[in-house]
Structure 1
Amino acid sequence: MADVSLDMQERLELCDLFDELGPAVPTLLEGWTAHDLAAHIVLRERDLAAGVCIVLPGPFQRFAERRRAGLAESKDFSWLVMRIRSGPPAGFFRFKWVRDLANLNEFFVHHEDVRRANGREPRSLTPEMDAALWRNVRRGARYLSRRLCGCGLEVEWAGAAEVVRVRSGDPAARLSGPPGELLLYVFGRQAAAQVDVCGPPEAVAALQRTHFGM
């Protein structure tokens, strides 16, 4: 896949995993099977009315969830996976900056949602993938940690001597790990992410009680 974009690599590997494990397996998303997750991905990219509502609060999000549940009920798993495998539709999701940031994050995190929930260990990623995920951690961690209060936050690419302060404040906690694990953590997969958390006890406690993610 050397000539395939990173977001497309994750998309295709997720589809392969869907085909291998089937629609009924669990994911890290509470209450969602692989079939539910596949419907979410198709909705995000192809439902112009509901896709944007996924990240909006209250009635918008409930509307999106009703549409997702209806899609999961009306379309079989193989149809959904085929739609995902075909790549992003024409328009917004084909812009390079969207593919490099939002799409790569979406497919990496959801790939791990299925892998980790079914006993798979963390992968060894290519240097190119690590660099891309680290760039996305740096871009997104401030927003994804917006609910954190009572401490500052640093993220560290373990072994690469790269540290970024993403939230000001004292005392500060630090998350340290490979870029993919850091991305999982700030996307709300704290229980599955293999990161080290350090800092003064009150900062660590503030971090651990915070809901990260969209």
Structure 2
Amino acid sequence: MSTHAKRERLLLADLLEASGPDAPTLCEGWTTRDLAAHLVVRERRPDAAGGILIKQLASRLERVMDEMRAKPYEELIQLVRTGPPRFSPFSLKQVDEASNTVEFYVHTEDVRRAQPDWTPRELDAVFQDTLWSRLERMARVMGRGAPTGLVLRRPDGRTVVAHRGLPVVTVTGEPAELLLFAYGRQGAARVELDGDADAVAKARGTKRLGY
């Protein structure tokens, strides 16, 4: 049975392949080759992947990233598509689903929405609800860097508080779009912001909320 993570993995691999190694992404300074290298390091080089979050390991991460960037692009795509080796925790279905559903969705959109002619994907209600449940769990952590109070709101009225404070900005959109906003892709997220004009400008201009 296919999982959300598996589906997004294959979609991302196909998109990276079709885009070629030099296409832009929403990840600042990264081409599709850089993004592919990041995905491979994250799953296959735990000795270096910690540098994503731990500053002391950042130099090692960059060295390993350079090694990956030097590989043939086709090899990187194949490593992304086939997934982690059997000994990796990411090879476990439950870990893969928990860790990679959001990761692969966001990075797929990083590639898609960097193109001038992109259009929104039609996502089914089950997947939207899955992304909403992840957002509910992560919102407080991701929103801690927000410069204002921040409430994320679905069109049906369900909300989650990402950051307490005043003034409050309410961001309304489908879960997938709210997730992109919370991951710092504010400029590409199809959302509406309501609140004091200065606060809205601050919330929209924040480079990264959390993560």
TM-score normalised by L of structure 2: 0.91
Question: Which residue of structure 2 aligns with residue 80 of structure 1?
Answer: 76
- How far apart in 1 are the matches of 2:113 and 2:140? 25
Q: Alignment partner of 1:141: what SS?
A: helix
* Contact 2:149 2:165 survives alignment (8 Å): yes
- Indicate which of 54, 68, 92 corresponds to 1:56: 54
1:130 lines up with 2:128 in the alignment: yes
- How far apart in 2 are the matches of 1:99 and 1:156? 27
Correspondence list, 1:1-214, <5 A: 3-57=1-55, 59-73=56-70, 75-90=71-86, 91-96=88-93, 98-118=95-115, 119-149=117-147, 151-158=148-155, 160-210=156-206, 211-214=208-211
Which 5+ residue runs of structure 2 have no aligned equivalent?
Answer: none
When the two chains are superposed, the root-mean-square deviation of aligned CA atoms in Å is 1.7
- How far apart in 1 are the matches of 2:59 and 2:144? 22
Q: Alignment partner of 1:49: what SS?
A: helix
| Identity among equivalent pairs (%) | 38
CA deviation after TM superposition for structure 1 residue 96, in Å: 5.0
CA deviation after TM superposition for structure 1 residue 125, in Å: 0.2
- How far apart in 1 are the matches of 2:205 and 2:26? 19
Cα 1:128–1:89 shift into 2, 3 Å: farther
Q: Alignment partner of 2:28: what SS?
A: coil
Q: Which amino acid aligns with 1:83?
A: L
Cα 1:72–1:209 shift into 2, 3 Å: same
103-112 or 63-72: bigger deviation: 63-72
TM-score normalised by L of structure 1: 0.89
Q: How many residues align?
A: 208
Which 5+ residue runs of structure 1 have no aligned equivalent?
Answer: none
Q: Which amino acid aligns with 2:50?
A: V
- How far apart in 1 are the matches of 2:95 and 2:170? 28
